[in-house]
Amino acid sequence: MNASSQFSQPLAGREIRSDGLATRKLLLQCAGEIFAERGYSDTTSKEICERANATVGSVNYHFGSKAGLYHEILTDVTQYILRMEMLEAIAASQRPAREKLERILDMVLVAQASQDWQIRLFFRELTSPSSEFIDFLRLDTSPKTGIVKQILGEIVGAPADSAVVDRCLLSMFSLCSFPYMTDPRVLEHCVAPVSCEAAPLHQHIKRFILAGLDAIAAR
């Protein structure tokens, strides 16, 4: 059983009307905001329903459980950061691997700089993961990581499943995420605020990553 079927099964056979779809969408939005503020464990289905102005039990009706709701939110979050269809299109293009990676970095950096609730929730889970997030990762069958590693492997001239590509992936992820995971009040003790302006920072991060990959390829 895949991740999607495991959580969506309680809804099998139900027909949701257009007003129900609107309620479902609002529940996702409100739940995402609360989860980003307080985390999974400290959020209740009752709070979510109250914020969405929905009847008690709406979470269970639309998603089967709070866990089912959270799983769908995590799926939306990973799509918000990097849409699967966009990644597949980039990978299938005839562009050089470096250009493919630049396009991927552009999407990821713009999403992270937004600091929308999706990004705040993602960073919360990275630094203090819930058991639900670990389950989500365990059940996830998305090929996103494999696609990115394949592109990195082409750039550095190493197999996608090699340790060197794994380390490149970790380094790239760190460079992309650290400025947005860190509280600005901490960063201001290290660098001037102007140094963290999105556009020039994004260009610098891309140059830094590509230069590092070139250096590894030349070894």
pLDDT per position as a tens digit, 111-132: 999 989 999 999 999 999 999 9
Q: Could you tell me which residues come within 8 angstroms of residue 209 by beta carbon, excluding any fewer than 6 positions away?
A: 101, 105, 171, 172, 175, 176
Q: What is the rounded CA–CA span in Å between residue 158 and residue 98?
A: 14
- Give me 189's structure tokens: 């003790």
- Give me 207's structure tokens: 């140059």
- The domain limits of the chain are 3-77, 81-217
Q: What is the pLDDT of residues 172-208, one digit of tens each?
A: 999 999 999 998 889 889 999 899 899 999 999 999 9
Q: What is the rounded CA–CA span in Å between residue 77 and residue 28?
A: 11
Q: Could you tell me which residues come within 8 angstroms of residue 202 by beta carbon, excluding any fewer than 6 positions away?
A: 105, 106, 109, 110, 113
Domain 81-217 has CATH 1.10.357.10: yes
Q: What is the rounded CA–CA span in Å between residue 72 and residue 27?
A: 11
Domain 3-77 has CATH 1.10.1240.10: no
Q: What is the pLDDT of residues 63-107, one digit of tens each?
A: 999 999 999 999 999 999 999 999 999 999 999 999 999 999 999
H-helix or E-strand spanning residue 35: helix 18-38
Q: Write down the pLDDT at residue 4.
A: 42
pTM: 0.84
How many helices (H) does the chain have, and how many strands (E)?
A: 13, 0
Q: What is the rounded CA–CA span in Å between residue 48 and residue 45?
A: 5
